[in-house]
Amino acid sequence: MSSPSFYTPLDEISKIHERSWRGWRSGKTKSIAWRKQQIAQVGYLLKDNEERIKKALKIDLGRPDLESDFFDFTGVYIDVRASYDNVEKWAKTQKAEFNLNFFAMSPRMRAEPKGVVLIIAPFNFPVYLILSPLIGAIAGGNAAVIKPSEKTPTYSALLAELVPKYLDPELYHVINGGIPETTRALELRWSHIFYIGNSQVARVISHAAAKYLTPMTLELGSQNPVVIDPKCDLRTAARRILWGRCSNAGQICLSPEYVLVPEAFQDTLVEALKQAYHEFYPEGPGKSDSFSRIVSEQQVERLQKLIATTKGNIVFGGDSDPSTRYFAPTLVRDVRTDDPLMEDELFGPILMLVPTKNVDDAIEFINSRGEPLAIYVFSQDKNFQNKVFENTTSGAAVANETCISAGVPGLPMGGIGASGHGYFTGKFMFDELTHLRASIDNPSWVDKIAFGFRFPPYKPSKILSMLIPPLPPRPGREPTPLGRWGSWLALVIVAAMSVTFAGPGRVLGLLGM
């Protein structure tokens, strides 16, 4: 079966790779003014084509425009503005922390480009999860090759049309295709690979990256838990949890998947979630223009099989229609830890309620599984919040909200352990896609005053011992008042007196030189 017409020919992928490297080696990305121009162009690529992009997302994902604006567009505009305004500061040479032993060498560092970045993006937020890393790559002075998801063909074809119109065609490229095209791209050497998706594909990409020891950023999906305090603001909690689970039809890596709820509180929570459900979809989600569709018929069928095998009790939802890619918002209560729904990330609008004895039981359950991308706690009690967050590990720790932490300016987005590693958004993305290059410039006179001891023939030197900082106070003992600075002060006084009374030659002799 032939590939869709907009797929990139396999033999063209190596040529794109070569052009990207050639463009990067031209040196044009070193200019901060050039980077700012390209960053601004990303913003106008989106701004000028908002309606075309929304239409494409409607075709590919059946998504309401408001969700595209909120989840896909807003974050890109935030990153464009932040990177444009700050890239000059981020890229500026930095002085190292002052150290009396080494200050004469002018130690400094600069964030330099890595080279050519490969961005492999998922289908669920194909604007934000492509253009945001691209902004980081541009700000860092890199070239980039983008591989959009084959599951969003309308949008992916549109992106391939727009990128060369708005961005430098020698440095920024789009490869469209499926597994063969991605496999071909992964056979080549990249400076950094940025992948957002699931852990199974991440293992394949990691294996390919290992051939060239290529650094990676992995942001991976997970089953994100909610821990609920019976004393919480229940109406707010129910609305925010259900909204987070049903937005984009549950196809969000940060979406809450299950709620760890005290057994005695489960009925109360169920009623609150039912009320929120009817408020969100008064005529039913199937008729609502505020509910997205699943990305493909195959994914609907996958969810159908999962819901058919659950041992929990379905409160509402569960109905579906693969031909229209519809799967209804579904609440399942009394889900046990060994339920088929708990085996892997669902990536669909199914919310599970898992009964627990207490908050300690909830914490133990979270820690028995892989590290999630986010842990959500609904409670007005700071002690309750802290108990959960301080005794668990996750990419994000979010109280009284779901999903939106990735869009908050100044916060990193990233996982840990099973949910990935590395960060994106804003300055964190710039840091991820640059290399801190260390530098010193050591004048000749330093050897005469301090570092001459290192040259053979070796002789005892007091200077060497002064390079070694003192250890911290031994536990149980009080620190000395002057410490190391006292030693240096004594040295300066001795040297000054020696110069005054004996001349410079005597000073060098005192220092064992």
Q: Any bridge partners for residue 350, and if so which? A: 330
Give the residue carrying structure tokens 């990233």: 414
Beta strands in 208-365 (DSSP E): 216-220, 224-228, 256-262, 313-316, 320-321, 326-327, 330-333, 350-356
Catalytic hit among 232, 246, 253, 403: 253
Q: How many CA atoms lie within 13 A of 125 on its CB side?
A: 29
Question: What global pTM score does this model have?
Answer: 0.91
Beta strands in 192-304 (DSSP E): 192-197, 216-220, 224-228, 256-262
φ/ψ of 125, rounded to 5, equals -130, 75
Cβ atoms of residues 197 and 179 within 8 Å: no
H or E, element range at 80: helix 74-91
Give the residue carrying structure tokens 């007091």: 462
Cβ atoms of residues 290 and 281 within 8 Å: yes
* Eight-class DSSP state of 438: E
Q: State how far the Cα of 204 lies from the Cα of 270, in Å rounded to an integer.
A: 40
* Eight-class DSSP state of 424: B
* Per-residue pLDDT at 494: 44
Q: Any bridge partners for residue 156, and if so which? A: none
Bond before 443 cis per omega within 30 degrees: no
In three state form, how does the secondary structure of 101-169 look? CCHHHCCEEEEEECCEEEEECCCCCCCHHHHHHHHHHHHCCCEEEEECCCCCHHHHHHHHHHHHHHCCC
* Eight-class DSSP state of 73: I
Return the structure tokens found at 138: 């541009």
CA Rg value for the chain: 29
- Measured at the CA of 96, the angle between CA 90 and CA 98, to 5 degrees, comes to 140
Residue-wise DSSP of 401-414: --SGGGGSTT--B-
Q: Any bridge partners for residue 374, and if so which? A: 396
Percent helix, strand, coil in the chain (nearest 5)? 50, 15, 35
- Measured at the CA of 141, the angle between CA 57 and CA 149, to 5 degrees, comes to 25
Burial of 377 (0-12, 13-18, 19+ CB in 10 A): buried
* Per-residue pLDDT at 6: 87
Cβ atoms of residues 254 and 373 within 8 Å: yes
The rounded average pLDDT for each run of 10 residues, N- to C-terminus, in the chain (513 residues) is 81 98 98 98 98 97 96 97 98 95 95 98 97 98 98 98 98 97 98 96 96 97 96 98 98 97 98 98 97 97 97 97 98 96 96 98 97 98 98 98 95 95 94 97 94 93 89 85 56 52 46 44
* Per-residue pLDDT at 509: 46
Catalytic hit among 150, 219, 257, 401: 219
Active site residue 253: yes
* Per-residue pLDDT at 486: 57
Q: How many other C-beta atoms lie within 10 A of the C-beta of residue 461?
A: 17
**Selection from 420, 6, 10 nearest residue 187 by Cα:** 10
Q: State how far the Cα of 310 lies from the Cα of 350, in Å rounded to an integer.
A: 11
**Selection from 361, 473, 369, 406 nearest residue 248 by Cα:** 406
Active site residue 219: yes
H or E, element range at 54: helix 50-61
Q: How many other C-beta atoms lie within 10 A of the C-beta of residue 465?
A: 10
